[in-house]
Amino acid sequence: MSDRWKARIVGYGVPLVVFILLVLVGQYWERAVDRAFGQPTGTNTLPPGFPIAVGTKPTPSGTCTFGAQTGGTFAGTIVVTCTAQTMTLTFPFPAPNGWACDAHDETTPADVFNQNGHSTTTAAFAATTTVALDVVSFKCAGY
């Protein structure tokens, strides 16, 4: 092989090796970031260890009428009928300082549920009038 061809091979070899390394590192980095931040890896389900609301559901009480519940301890839905009343969620275990929650009427988004109190075992809401059998979703965090 002539020196001219050797120079071309070496000249293209270094950039080619660098390119291949960058591609491999990029693929590794993408998978590492996906694993670190809990992104699904090619499936339609949440990855292992991802927080899912399971366990004993909080007990709803107050002057609203309550129906079926889905979800778990810190997130889910409740079927509710209220006429400018109150709703309190009582959790199956205490949080060190209290519970901070959001609740939203999925059926009639104009209906408002504002958290207006808490204790280590409860979160209280003031509820505007709802349509009968509205589905209210909630998510709560103990702190």
Predicted confidence pLDDT, tens digits, the chain (143 residues): 566 655 555 556 666 666 666 566 565 556 655 555 554 445 555 566 667 777 889 999 988 889 999 998 889 999 988 877 889 999 998 999 999 999 999 998 888 889 999 999 999 999 877 778 899 999 999 99
Strand ranges, E, within the chain = 59-62, 65-71, 75-81, 86-90, 99-105, 112-118, 122-127, 134-142
**Angle ∠(81,84,85) on CA atoms, nearest 5:** 75
Whole-prediction pTM value?
A: 0.65
Question: Is there a contact between 73 and 91 (Cβ–Cβ < 8 Å)?
Answer: yes
Residue with tokens 């400018």: 84
